[in-house]
Amino acid sequence: MGTTERRQREKEQRRMEILSSAREIFFAKGLEGSTMDEIADKAELSKGTLYLYFKSKDELYVSLLSEGTEIFTNMMLESISQDMKAEDKLRSIGNAYYRFYDEYPQYFKILFLLQHGEFSDDKVDQDIQSNCMFEAGRSLNLIESILNEGVEQGEFTIKDSWQATLFVWAAANGVFTIAAEKHHEFMKEFNTKELLDFTMDKIISSLK
């Protein structure tokens, strides 16, 4: 009796369809600028149905953040291989970040540019919220473990690896945040990838 599985599949599919419509709307108009009616319209569903699949507008949005973070983290993880030196791993995830910035500008924007206040627990399901956190955590853990590995192999000299992790993260993040604002009048031209490479050089030499 495969009807149960089929229905499960169809449910998951519908969820995806809603997410997909929400993505288009949110990417185009941001959290505040988008309405549930609009999303329902795009999904060719009634608004009530959205609430059958997502607790709130916020939950829908956080689900997208979660998606983005997952893509991001996977790109980092897939960019490195076990036989690399710690230094090369760091450069590699820097490049992965660049590719994410380049290939998924919309996700980059909602994840790192738009500050997304707090999402209250009663509006966003715990599972979804924590998946988002978990995915974000994986990136930082990856960096920390690379730093620790670098210390073990004698490549780096670091006292507090968590502090160093945050430093690396902040520095890299800073590059892309600036890059995203390139178009501002007051900002002189620069090449993002070159700035990133330069920054990675500096970061790495400072860790040695």
Partner DNA sequence: GTAATATTAGTCATCATATGACTGTCAGTC
Partner DNA sequence: GACTGACAGTCATATGATGACTAATATTAC
SS3 of the chain: the string is: CCHHHHHHHHHHHHHHHHHHHHHHHHHHHHHHHCCHHHHHHHHCCCHHHHHHHCCCHHHHHHHHHHHHHHHHHHHHHHHCCCCCCHHHHHHHHHHHHHHHHHHCHHHHHHHHHCCCCCCCCCCCCHHHHHHHHHHHHHHHHHHHHHHHHHHHCCCCCCCCHHHHHHHHHHHHHHHHHHHCCCCCCCCCCCCHHHHHHHHHHHHHHHHC
Q: How far is the CB of 66 from DNA (least distance, A)?
A: 17
Q: How far is the CB of 122 from DNA (least distance, A)?
A: 9
Q: How far is the CB of 148 from DNA (least distance, A)?
A: 42
* Residue window 42-61: x/- pattern of binding to a second copy, with contact defined by CB under 8 A: --xxx---------------
Contact window for a second copy (CB under 8 A) among 1-9, 24-32, 132-140, 197-205: 1-9
Q: How far is the CB of 31 from DNA (least distance, A)?
A: 9
* Residue window 115-134: x/- pattern of binding to DNA, with contact defined by CB under 7 A: --------x-----------
Residue 138 contacts DNA per CB under 7 A: no
Whether the CB-CB separation of 94 and 146 falls below 8 Å is answered with no
Q: Nearer to a second copy by C-beta: 48 or 154?
A: 48
Question: Distance (Å, rounded) from C-alpha 141 to C-alpha 135?
Answer: 10
Contact window for a second copy (CB under 8 A) among 3-11, 124-132, 176-184, 189-197: 3-11
> What would the two tokens of residue 12 be?
């998951």
Residue 27 contacts DNA per CB under 7 A: no
Residue 36 contacts DNA per CB under 7 A: yes
Q: How far is the CB of 196 from DNA (least distance, A)?
A: 36
Total residues at interface with a second copy (CB under 8 A) = 9
Residue 78 contacts DNA per CB under 7 A: no
Residue ranges that bind DNA, judged by CB under 7 A: 1, 3-4, 6-7, 11, 14, 34-37, 44-49, 51-52, 56-58, 123
